[in-house]
Amino acid sequence: MELPTPLERGSVLPDAEVFLKREDVHELGAFKWRGALPVVRRYKEEGAIAVVTASTGNHGAATAWACRQLGLRAIVFAPVESSRAKLSKIEALGAELRLSGKDLDEAKEEARDEARELLLPFFEDGAELSQYDGYG
């Protein structure tokens, strides 16, 4: 899936031609979807019906978005003290949100346990090589 990202000419440096890649105009407001999509696509090809992850915001939203695009269920664990705005975005993208733990490490531990128990893939941000394929 290709989504156009507009380029804008920057005017910060007088002796250089600078372009800004406007990832902020995407529905997620961040580039993370580019990495989540190939990973979630691979999980689907391997037969997954859902994906489990842990996040404090953008990775969880990107995983939820990619799962929605591909018709999979997303289960996102987040620390109890996470930003309410980011959690609302994750839920609005269709993920099942589970508040767990005081920090991301504790949320990841719970998410890994759930993934193991349900025989689902656990998508850890930065741990999947195919995640970097999307960043081109």
- List the domain boundaries for the chain: 33-133
Q: Would you give the DSSP letter of residue 7?
A: E
Cβ neighbours, 10 Å, residue 51: 26
pLDDT at residue 126 is higher than 70: no
What pLDDT was estimated at residue 17? 80
Measured between alpha carbons, how far is residue 86 from residues 51, 60, 63, 80 in Å? 19, 9, 13, 12
Cβ neighbours, 10 Å, residue 38: 19
Q: Are 78 and 60 in contact (CB under 8 A)?
A: yes
Write down the pTM of the prediction.
0.77
Q: Are strands 7-10 and 18-21 parallel, antiparallel or unpaired?
A: antiparallel
CA distance 72 to 100: 22
Q: Are 25 and 7 in contact (CB under 8 A)?
A: no
Which residue from 113, 54, 60 is spatially nearest to 79, judged by alpha carbons? Answer: 54
1-5, 15-19, 63-67: which has the minimum mean pLDDT? 1-5
Q: Are 36 and 59 in contact (CB under 8 A)?
A: yes
What pLDDT was estimated at residue 127? 64
Banded pLDDT at 3 (limits 50, 70, 90): low
Residue range 77-105, pLDDT digits in tens:
999 999 999 999 999 999 999 999 999 99
CATH of domain 33-133: 3.40.50.1100
Residue range 7-34, pLDDT digits in tens:
667 777 778 887 766 566 566 656 667 6
